[in-house]
Structure 1
Amino acid sequence: MHLQIVVALSAILLCDAKLPRFKPQAQPNELPANPLHSQGLGQLQAQSKTEKTSRIVDQYRVRHRREVFDSKSYESSLTWAHSERLDQNGEVILRWVNTDSSITFRLEAKTLGYVGLGFNSARNMRGADLVVAWVDDRNGNAQVLDCYGSEYEDRAIADDVKNYELISGYQNETHTTVEFRRQLDTCDKQDFVITDDTTQILWALGPPGSDGQLPKHVKSGARPLRLLQPVSKPESIPLNHWDVRLTNLTIPYVMATLFWCKIFKVPDLPKKHHIVGYEPLIDSRPIRNNVPVQEPNSMSPVHHMVLYECAEDDDKHLWNGWAEGEGYFGPNRPSAWATCATPIAAWAIGSQGEFLPENVGIPLGEKGGVSYYMLEVHYDNQELHNVLDSSGIRVHYTSSLRQHDGAVLGAGIGVSALHVIPPKQKAYKTVGICSTECTEATLPEDGVNIVSVLLHAHGTARKISLKHIRGTQELPRISEENYYDSHYQQSRIVPRGRKFLRGDTLITECTYDSTSKDKPILGGYSAKQEMCLSFILYYPRTALAGCYSMTPVKEFFETFGVKEFYGLNFMQVENIFLSSGSFENLPPLPLSDEGQKHIMNETGEEQGVQGDDQGVGLMKELVIWEPPEFRNKSFMAHLNEMPWAEPLLTEQIEKTLYKGMHMTFCKRRDDTWGVPMQIQSYPNYTELISNETAEKSCHYKSVRLPSVTKTSGATTRSFSWATLVALCIMLVVTR
Structure 2
Amino acid sequence: MHLQIALMLSIFLLCDAKLPRFKQHTISNGLTNPKQNTQAMRLLQVEAKNEKTSAIVGEYKTRHRRDVFDSKSYESSLTWAHSERLDDNGDVLLRWVNSDSSITFRLEARTRGYVALGFNSARNVRGADLVVAWVDDRNGNAQILDCHGPDYQDLPVADDVQNYELISGYQNDTHTTIEFRRQLDTCDKQDFVIGEDTTQILWALGPDGSDGDLPKQVKSSNRPLRLLLPVSKPDSIPLRHWDVRFNNLTIPHDMATLFWCKVFKAPDLAKKHHIVGYQPIIDSRPIRDGKPVVEKDSLSPVHHMVLYECAEDEDKHLWNNWADTEGYYGPTRPSGWATCARPIAAWAIGSKGEFLPENVGIPLGEKGGVSYYMLEIHYDNQALHEVLDSSGIRVHYTPALRAHDAALLGAGVGVSALHVIPPKQRRYRTVGICSPECTNNTMPEEGINIVSVLLHAHGTARKISLKHVRGTQELPRISQENSYDARYQQSRIVPGGRKFLRGDTLITECTYDSTSRDKPILGGYSAQQEMCLSFILYYPRTELAGCYSMTPVKEFFETFGVKEFSKLSFMQVENIFLSSGNFENLPPQPDFTMKNERDRRYIEDGAVQGDDQGVSLLKDLIIWEPLEFRNKSFMAHLNEMPWAEHLLTEQIEKSLYKGMHMTFCKKRDDSWGVPIQIQNYPNFTEVMDNDTSEKSCHYKSVNLPSSVTKSTTGLGSTKTISSLLLAACAIIMIAR
Is residue 2:700 matched to residue 1:703?
A: yes
> How many Å separate the matches in 1 of 2:317 and 2:82?
46
- Which residues in structure 2 correspond to 1:186-585 (within 5 Å)? 186-215=186-215, 220-583=220-583
Q: Is the 8 A contact 2:602 2:612 kept in 1?
A: no
Distance change (3 Å), C-alpha of 1:440 and 1:211: same
> How many Å separate the matches in 2 of 1:314 and 1:322?
14
Q: Tell me the CA shift for residue 325 of structure 1.
A: 0.4
Distance change (3 Å), C-alpha of 1:36 and 1:481: farther
Q: Is the 8 A contact 2:164 2:180 kept in 1?
A: yes
Q: Tell me the CA shift for residue 214 of structure 1.
A: 1.1
Deviates more, 1:208-217 or 1:486-495: 208-217
Q: Tell me the CA shift for residue 153 of structure 1.
A: 2.2
Partner of 2:29: none
Distance change (3 Å), C-alpha of 1:36 and 1:656: farther
Partner of 1:680: 679
Distance change (3 Å), C-alpha of 1:563 and 1:218: closer
Partner of 2:719: none
Q: Tell me the CA shift for residue 57 of structure 1.
A: 1.1
Distance change (3 Å), C-alpha of 1:380 and 1:149: same
CA deviation vs aligned residue, 1:603-624 (integer Å, no higher than 9, x gap) = 8752211111100111100010
> How many Å separate the matches in 2 of 1:553 and 1:705?
60
> How many Å separate the matches in 1 of 2:579 and 2:446?
35
Q: Is the 8 A contact 1:205 1:219 kept in 2?
A: no
> How many Å separate the matches in 1 of 2:208 and 2:223?
24
CA deviation vs aligned residue, 1:154-202 (integer Å, no higher than 9, x gap) = 1111111101011111111111111111110111111110001100100
Question: Which secondary structure does the structure 1 equivalent of 2:440 belong to?
Answer: helix
> How many Å separate the matches in 1 of 2:107 and 2:278?
28
Partner of 2:729: none
Distance change (3 Å), C-alpha of 1:690 and 1:470: same
Distance change (3 Å), C-alpha of 1:524 and 1:145: same
Q: Tell me the CA shift for residue 148 of structure 1.
A: 0.5
Q: Tell me the CA shift for residue 313 of structure 1.
A: 1.0
Partner of 1:722: none
Is residue 2:667 matched to residue 1:650?
A: no
Question: Which secondary structure does the structure 2 equivalent of 1:676 belong to?
Answer: strand
Q: Is the 8 A contact 1:353 1:490 kept in 2?
A: yes
Partner of 2:714: none
Question: Which secondary structure does the structure 1 equivalent of 2:438 belong to?
Answer: helix
Q: Tell me the CA shift for residue 698 of structure 1.
A: 4.0
Q: Is the 8 A contact 1:443 1:502 kept in 2?
A: yes
> How many Å separate the matches in 1 of 2:676 and 2:211?
66
Q: Is the 8 A contact 1:206 1:219 kept in 2?
A: no
Question: Which secondary structure does the structure 1 equivalent of 2:672 belong to?
Answer: coil
> How many Å separate the matches in 2 of 1:37 and 1:249?
63
Is residue 2:160 matched to residue 1:160?
A: yes
Partner of 2:662: 663
Partner of 1:28: none
Q: Tell me the CA shift for residue 72 of structure 1.
A: 0.9
Q: Is the 8 A contact 2:603 2:609 kept in 1?
A: no
Q: Tell me the CA shift for residue 589 of structure 1.
A: 4.0
Partner of 1:726: none
> How many Å separate the matches in 2 of 1:60 and 1:551?
61
> How many Å separate the matches in 1 of 2:388 and 2:231?
34
- Which residues in structure 2 correspond to 1:628-643 (within 5 Å)? 628-643=627-642
Partner of 1:50: 50
Q: TM-score, structure 2 length as denominator? A: 0.88
Question: Which secondary structure does the structure 1 equivalent of 2:562 belong to?
Answer: coil
Q: Tell me the CA shift for residue 583 of structure 1.
A: 4.4
Q: Tell me the CA shift for residue 63 of structure 1.
A: 2.1
Partner of 2:716: none
Q: Tell me the CA shift for residue 704 of structure 1.
A: 3.0
Question: Which secondary structure does the structure 1 equivalent of 2:701 belong to?
Answer: coil
CA RMSD of aligned residues (A): 2.0
Is residue 2:93 matched to residue 1:93?
A: yes
Deviates more, 1:216-225 or 1:673-682: 216-225
> How many Å separate the matches in 2 of 1:185 and 1:604?
49
Distance change (3 Å), C-alpha of 1:483 and 1:406: same
Q: Tell me the CA shift for residue 123 of structure 1.
A: 1.1
Deviates more, 1:208-217 or 1:443-452: 208-217
Partner of 1:730: none
Partner of 1:127: 127
Question: Which secondary structure does the structure 1 equivalent of 2:673 belong to?
Answer: coil
Partner of 1:108: 108
**Sequence identity of aligned pairs in percent?**
78
Q: Tell me the CA shift for residue 219 of structure 1.
A: 7.3
Distance change (3 Å), C-alpha of 1:234 and 1:605: closer
> How many Å separate the matches in 1 of 2:178 and 2:592?
72
- Which residues in structure 2 correspond to 1:587-598 (within 5 Å)? 587-589=589-591
5+ residue gaps, structure 2, are 1-17, 19-33, 594-600, 705-736
> How many Å separate the matches in 2 of 1:666 and 1:699?
47
Partner of 2:723: none
> How many Å separate the matches in 2 of 1:383 and 1:283?
17
> How many Å separate the matches in 1 of 2:339 and 2:679?
26
CA deviation vs aligned residue, 1:227-277 (integer Å, no higher than 9, x gap) = 001012110111000000001110111100000000000011111110000
Q: Is the 8 A contact 2:619 2:633 kept in 1?
A: yes
Q: Tell me the CA shift for residue 696 of structure 1.
A: 4.5
Q: Tell me the CA shift for residue 334 of structure 1.
A: 0.5
| Paired residue type of 1:587 | Q
Q: Tell me the CA shift for residue 480 of structure 1.
A: 0.6
> How many Å separate the matches in 2 of 1:210 and 1:394?
44
CA deviation vs aligned residue, 1:71-101 (integer Å, no higher than 9, x gap) = 1111111111111111111111111111111
Q: Is the 8 A contact 2:125 2:220 kept in 1?
A: no
Q: Is the 8 A contact 1:623 1:635 kept in 2?
A: yes
Q: Is the 8 A contact 2:312 2:319 kept in 1?
A: no
Question: Which secondary structure does the structure 1 equivalent of 2:439 belong to?
Answer: helix
Q: Is the 8 A contact 1:205 1:217 kept in 2?
A: no
Question: Which secondary structure does the structure 2 equivalent of 1:675 belong to?
Answer: strand
Deviates more, 1:259-268 or 1:605-614: 605-614
**Corresponding residue pairs, total:** 663
> How many Å separate the matches in 2 of 1:605 and 1:484?
26
5+ residue gaps, structure 1, are 1-23, 25-33, 592-601, 708-735
Q: TM-score, structure 1 length as denominator? A: 0.88
| Paired residue type of 1:304 | H
Distance change (3 Å), C-alpha of 1:155 and 1:218: closer
> How many Å separate the matches in 1 of 2:432 and 2:100?
33
Q: Tell me the CA shift for residue 53 of structure 1.
A: 1.4
| Paired residue type of 1:527 | A
Question: Which secondary structure does the structure 2 equivalent of 1:674 belong to?
Answer: strand
CA deviation vs aligned residue, 1:46-80 (integer Å, no higher than 9, x gap) = 22222221111111111222221111111111111
Question: Which secondary structure does the structure 1 equivalent of 2:201 belong to?
Answer: strand
CA deviation vs aligned residue, 1:424-468 (integer Å, no higher than 9, x gap) = 000100000000000000000000110110000000000000000
Q: Is the 8 A contact 1:285 1:387 kept in 2?
A: yes
